[in-house]
Amino acid sequence: MHTDILIIGAGISGITLARKLTAAGRQCIVLDKGRGVGGRMSTRRRDDVRFDHGAQFITVRDQRVQKMFDDLITQGIVREWFRADDTPRYCGTQGMSRIVSALAEGCDVRTGIEAQSLLHDGTVWSVACANGNVFTATTVVSSAPVPQTIGLVDNGHVQLGGQVRTQLEAIVYERCIAALVTCTSPCDVRSISHPDVAYIGDNLDKGISPLPAYTIHATPEFSERMWDADRNEVARCLAQCVFGKDLVGVSDIDVHGWKFSRPITISSATCIHALEHPSLVLIGDAFGGPRVEGAIISALDAAELILGC
């Protein structure tokens, strides 16, 4: 199947770009290996419980991004959760993934399809997928974490310029293990602190879960140290950091590991035009900045780049 522009990754940056390009009349397809859109803006459902287990909220400074969120607030998809230092923290009224799915409406998004390699003949890209599908495109945009993008290029034996390759290989990510804890009654977690815990999200207080549900993000140091340990035991340990050794009131514990949680090193450019013939563009929070807004800014700047070519 051929398309003008193929976007790899249906997180906030990939979907923002697809929305801009589609609105401008460009033909584009978005591929994602997951079951749905959202990427690290992910909401997990277990029976009647909901967890935002990736990004917990969004702050906005860029006027273009603020316009996007003003529109989403008007539609009832986003609301202000709380303020810190007089800066609004926005969240999805039905979870963070709903923000991305709302932006994806009208775009050609295909989930459950994992890209495995990128190769080209000097004019057109071929993207081979795990299910046997092959997509061709004149432009490929990868919003995947940079190490995954490098893997796709290497699998297709595509050579990147030495300076570009060096810049990409310098980008390093933190890991994060998230424990998803369901309780029988609400708990006040605002004053709880522990050296192994980076953040505690209250999904009941946020308004996305009808039952008490807490997202516990481990620190990067703890996550790195415990990454290869039994994941269920690690989640139990994190829950004990917050709810005590006996886990009084805890009814269920789930777990998720974010291998590419947050970029530590950031590119100096908001997006990278890694190859020109055929065109390969890289976007995401490793370029626009290590926040949700940074990923959006990267996509907006990439849209200007692609539409201007």
Tens of pLDDT, residue by residue over 91-103, are 999 999 999 999 9
Tokens 């996550």 belong to: 223
Is the same domain home to 125 and 254? no
Say how many domains are in the chain: 2
179, 255 in Cβ contact below 8 A? Answer: yes
Is the same domain home to 7 and 61?
yes
> What are the tokens at 238?
């994190």
75 and 204 co-located in one domain: no
- Tokens representing residue 74 in the block: 């008007």
Q: Are residues 177 and 155 in the same domain?
A: no
Structural contact between residues 21 and 304, judged by C-beta atoms closer than 8 angstroms: no
User: For the chain, which residues score pLDDT lower than 50?
Assistant: none
Confidence (pLDDT) at 286: 97
Show the domain range for 167: 2-48+55-171+266-308
| Same-domain check for residues 256 and 276 | no
Whether residue 146 sits in one domain with residue 36: yes
pLDDT of residue 161: 83
Q: What local confidence, expressed as pLDDT, does residue 162 receive?
A: 80
State the DSSP string of 164-207. HHHHHHT--EEEEEEEEEEESS----TT---TTEEEEEEHHHHT
Which pLDDT score, from 0 to 100, does residue 190 have? 87
Residues 149 and 206 in one domain: no
Q: Are residues 149 and 280 in the same domain?
A: yes
Both 143 and 229 in a single domain? no
Q: 65 and 161 share a domain?
A: yes
CA distance 65 to 298: 11
Q: Which backbone phi and psi does 297 adopt, to 5 degrees?
A: -60, -40
Number of alpha carbons in the 13 Å side-chain half-sphere of residue 271: 27
187-213 tens-digit pLDDT? 999 889 999 999 999 999 999 999 999
- Residue 210, Ramachandran bin (φ over 0: left; ψ between -120 and 50: alpha; else beta): alpha
On whether both 19 and 167 belong to a single domain, the answer is yes
The answer to whether the CB of 99 falls within 8 A of the CB of 89 is no
Q: Which residue pairs from 81-88 have beta carbons closer than 8 angstroms and sit at least 24 positions apart in sequence?
A: 81/57, 81/206, 87/59, 88/59, 88/60
Query: Residue 272: enclosing H or E segment and its boundaries?
Result: strand 272-276
Q: What is the CATH number of the domain that holds 243?
A: 3.90.660.10
Pairing of strands 134-142, 197-202: unpaired
Are 115 and 8 a contacting pair, CB within 8 Å? yes
Residues 6+ apart with CB under 8 A from 171: 146, 147, 263, 265, 266, 267, 286
CA distance 158 to 206: 45
How would you classify residue 148: left for phi > 0, otherwise alpha for psi between -120 and 50, otherwise beta? alpha
Q: Tell me, yes or no, whether 64 and 196 share the same domain.
A: no
Quote the pLDDT of residue 46: 86
CATH code for the domain in which residue 74 is found: 3.50.50.60
Question: What is the pTM for the complete model shown?
Answer: 0.95
CB atoms closer than 10 angstroms to residue 166: 10
